[in-house]
């Protein structure tokens, strides 16, 4: 089966970079990325590629190279579906905020809408690929909706979970540890569809790194990979608290533990807590599905990873308050970083949101500086929590575009995202502008402690 036309529904953090790399690597395939969000598509089509809606190192260069040649962004979803041989579904699947499974199960309404739209429009056979992170057995629901459209079109549903991490998405896509493709291995048509997708990736990924499995293994592998990674972060964060009590240093512990090749050195960085669109959501999906099957111990086991993460965020903020003489009311606190990690403008589930919310409840005045996150996004993140009115958030929180402005007359600085530029700041200048004692809380173990203490900062770092 030769694929000539690919459509991707959803022009977000997954769909955008993934399709850009496919377009670059498969120059004979026409790739169209569609989204119902007109503003987002307009930004993807902005003549100045620096204005594309997603900040990701290396991405604007690829868009510049391929856009208008074989990569297109459009709001005409029906047309792109009609033309495509292969359709990737990369729409968002947030945690449900209502009804059964509220706060835990994934909200599949966007996925279902896509399936219904495909069913309504398609006139010839299609391969439909789940790209978004989905709970196990979503493919069955997709297949059901598509097969019941009653227009004689045949569908093959594949699961092709995304393992890219934001901030390194382009590199992860170009040189993946593995590509996973789940499909109907039992039938000839299923295997053919899987081969068609294997061939797309084989344009640049060595064949031995392309794994094929049944659909359920593929769906569950995605959740498991993220649960294991998140578990490592929660594990080291649990140890960071113990380090603070005992005089051990969590960086030294990480290093010593990580040098055991059975453990490995990655994902052992203590932090103010993990964020991002995947870890929490995927673990909640895992917990929810375990509960659904009445596997109480399995559910509790994984839920603890989330409980530990919530504790770490709260503990960091509580420690700030306690250190500053048990009150931050009316005190100006500068937050450096709002994104959930460096090199992305994504803020979903960022620890910074929760730290800010805690401090606002203690009536602090917050000033935020992040090199890539917009003011509009920061207010929208706080409003979404619903802890206070939008007006109250706008009154208590100021967003500035210079770290020096953020720290003027501040009582404290908290580093919440590990942006490289924070290491290079003129810390003496920042100190001179602040009220004294000047407190500095490093939630990322980013800064070198000795020089900060020499300047005069009251310095605190996670796990030390
Ligand atoms: C993750 C997975 O890594 C990726 O494979 C999957 O496709 C999507 O989810 P992402 O959420 O983009 O990717 O970022 P990741 O690098 O995994 O970081 C997640 C969070 O954990 C961030 O907030 C990060 O700061 C935090 N983290 C990570 C730590 O606190 N310590 C670490 O050692 C590593
Ligand atoms: P992810 O990180 O999974 O890529 P995003 O929220 O960044 O998540 O992107 C998902 C995109 O999917 C959004 O831009 C949203 O507008 C789009 N989307 C959601 N539902 C539909 C739909 N039915 N048709 C087209 N696009 C959709």
Indicate if ligand 2 lies below 6 Å from the C-beta of 161.
Answer: no
> Mean of the pLDDT values across residues 161-186?
97
- Whose alpha carbon is nearest atom 25 of ligand 2? 35
Q: Decide if pLDDT at 190 tops 80.
A: yes
Q: What confidence tier does 104 reach under pLDDT thresholds 50, 70, 90?
A: confident
> Mean of the pLDDT values across residues 14-30?
98
- 3-state class (DSSP) for residue 145: helix
**Catalytic residue from among 7, 8, 278, 407:** 278
Contact status, residue 359 vs residue 320, Cβ threshold 8 Å: yes
- Whose alpha carbon is nearest atom 13 of ligand 1? 165
- Whose alpha carbon is nearest atom 2 of ligand 2? 13
pLDDT of residue 101: 85
> Mean of the pLDDT values across residues 161-183?
97
CA angle (162, 221, 6) in 5-degree steps: 30
**Catalytic residue from among 7, 56, 126, 162:** 162
For the CA of 114, the nearest atom of ligand 2: 23
Model confidence pLDDT, tens digit, residues 82-95: 999 999 999 988 88
Indicate if ligand 2 lies below 6 Å from the C-beta of 132.
Answer: yes
pLDDT of residue 96: 86
Contact status, residue 19 vs residue 31, Cβ threshold 8 Å: yes
Q: How far is ligand 1, taken at its centre, from the CA of residue 165, in Å?
A: 6
Six-digit token pair at 128?
């439909």
- Whose alpha carbon is nearest atom 5 of ligand 2? 12
Indicate if ligand 2 lies below 6 Å from the C-beta of 110.
Answer: yes
Model confidence pLDDT, tens digit, residues 203-216: 999 999 999 999 99
Name all contacts of 388-396 with Cβ < 8 Å and 24+ positions apart: 388/360, 393/360, 396/360, 396/363, 396/364, 396/365, 396/366
Q: Which of the residue ranges 138-152, 261-275, 386-400, 401-415 would you say has the lowest mean pLDDT? A: 138-152
Q: Decide if pLDDT at 57 tops 90.
A: yes
Q: Decide if pLDDT at 149 tops 80.
A: no
pLDDT of residue 236: 98
452 versus 98: which is more confidently predicted? Answer: 452
pLDDT of residue 132: 79
Q: What confidence tier does 383 reach under pLDDT thresholds 50, 70, 90?
A: very high
Task: Name residues whose C-beta falls within 8 Å of residue 427's C-beta, 6 or more positions apart in sequence.
Answer: 447, 451, 452, 455, 457
> Mean of the pLDDT values across residues 399-425?
98
Indicate if ligand 1 lies below 6 Å from the C-beta of 371.
Answer: no
- Whose alpha carbon is nearest atom 27 of ligand 1? 274
Contact status, residue 313 vs residue 340, Cβ threshold 8 Å: no
Contact status, residue 319 vs residue 460, Cβ threshold 8 Å: yes
Q: Which of the residue ranges 122-136, 265-279, 292-306, 346-360 would you say has the lowest mean pLDDT? A: 122-136
> Mean of the pLDDT values across residues 259-282?
97
> Mean of the pLDDT values across residues 166-182?
97
Q: What order do you get walking across the sheet with 30-34 strand by strand?
A: 71-74, 30-34, 5-9, 86-89, 126-130, 155-159, 179-183, 210-214
Q: Which residues pair with 126 in a beta bridge?
A: 155
Q: Decide if pLDDT at 123 tops 80.
A: yes
Six-digit token pair at 451?
């020089």
pLDDT of residue 152: 87
pLDDT averaged over the chain? 96
Instruction: List b or e across 340-367, with b for residues whose CB sees 16 or more CB atoms inside 10 angstroms.
Output: bbbbbbbbbbbbbbbbbbbbbebebbbb
pTM: 0.96
Closest listed ligand to the CA of 15? 2
> What does the CA dihedral 234, 238, 243, 244 come to, rounded to 10 degrees?
100
Indicate if ligand 1 lies below 6 Å from the C-beta of 248.
Answer: no
pLDDT of residue 273: 98
pLDDT of residue 79: 97
For the CA of 349, the nearest atom of ligand 1: 23
CB 270: neighbour CB atoms within 10 A? 28
Give the mutation target among 92, 95, 114, 341 for probing the ligand 2 site: most ligand atoms within 8 A of CB: 92
Q: Decide if pLDDT at 135 tops 80.
A: no
pLDDT of residue 95: 85
- Residue 279: its H or E element: helix 279-292
- φ and ψ at residue 456, rounded to 5 degrees: 125, 0
**What distance lies between CA 400 and its chain's CA centroid?**
24
Q: Which of the residue ranges 140-154, 273-287, 377-391 would you say has the lowest mean pLDDT? A: 140-154
Indicate if ligand 2 lies below 6 Å from the C-beta of 457.
Answer: no
Q: Are strands 412-415 and 332-336 parallel, antiparallel or unpaired?
A: parallel
278 included as an active-site residue: yes
Indicate if ligand 1 lies below 6 Å from the C-beta of 278.
Answer: yes
pLDDT of residue 245: 96
Indicate if ligand 2 lies below 6 Å from the C-beta of 308.
Answer: no
Look up residue 462 and give its DSSP letter.
Answer: T
pLDDT of residue 21: 98
């Amino acid at each position: 089966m030769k694929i000539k036309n690919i459509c991707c529904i959803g022009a977000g953090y997954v769909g955008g970079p993934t399709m850009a790399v496919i377009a670059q690597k498969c120059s004979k395939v026409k790739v169209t990325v569609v989204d119902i969000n007109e503003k987002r598509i307009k930004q993807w089509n902005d003549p100045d590629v620096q204005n594309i809606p997603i900040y990701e190192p290396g991405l604007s260069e690829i868009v510049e190279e391929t856009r208008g040649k074989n990569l297109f962004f459009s709001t005409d979803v029906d047309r792109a579906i009609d033309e495509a041989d292969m359709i990737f579904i990369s729409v968002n699947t947030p945690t449900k905020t209502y009804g059964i499974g509220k706060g835990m199960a994934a909200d599949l309404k966007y996925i279902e809408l896509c399936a219904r739209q495909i069913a309504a429009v398609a006139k010839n056979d299609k391969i439909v690929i789940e790209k978004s992170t989905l709970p196990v057995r979503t493919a069955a629901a997709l297949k059901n909706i598509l097969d019941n459209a009653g227009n004689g079109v045949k569908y093959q549903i594949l699961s092709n979970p995304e393992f890219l991490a934001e901030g390194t998405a382009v590199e992860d896509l170009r040189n993946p540890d593995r590509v996973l493709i789940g499909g109907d291995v039992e039938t000839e048509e299923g295997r053919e569809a899987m081969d068609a997708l294997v061939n797309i990736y084989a344009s640049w990924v060595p064949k031995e790194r392309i794994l094929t499995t049944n659909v359920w293994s593929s769906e569950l592998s995605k959740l498991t990979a993220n649960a294991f990674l998140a578990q490592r972060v929660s594990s080291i964060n649990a140890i960071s608290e113990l380090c603070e009590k005992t005089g051990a240093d969590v960086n030294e512990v990480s290093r010593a533990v990580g040098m055991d090749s059975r453990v490995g050195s990655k994902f052992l960085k203590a932090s103010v807590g993990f964020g991002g669109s995947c870890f929490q959501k995927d673990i909640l999906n895992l917990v929810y599905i375990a509960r659904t099957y009445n596997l109480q111990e399995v559910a509790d086991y994984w839920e603890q990873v989330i409980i530990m993460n919530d504790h770490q965020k709260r503990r960091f903020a509580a420690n700030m308050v306690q250190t500053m003489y048990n009150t931050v009311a009316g005190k100006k606190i500068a937050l450096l970083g709002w994104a959930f990690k460096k090199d992305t403008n994504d803020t979903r589930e960022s620890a910074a949101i929760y730290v800010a919310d805690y401090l606002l409840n203690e009536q602090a005045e917050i000033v935020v500086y992040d090199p890539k996150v917009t003011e509009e996004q920061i207010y929208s993140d706080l409003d979404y929590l619903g802890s206070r009115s939008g007006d109250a958030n706008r009154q208590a929180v100021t967003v500035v575009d210079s770290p020096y402005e953020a720290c003027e007359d501040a009582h404290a600085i908290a580093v919440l995202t590990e942006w490289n530029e924070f290491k290079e700041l003129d810390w003496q200048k920042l100190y001179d502008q602040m009220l004294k004692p000047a407190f500095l809380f490093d939630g990322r173990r980013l800064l070198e402690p000795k020089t900060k203490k020499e300047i005069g900062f009251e310095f605190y770092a996670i796990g030390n």
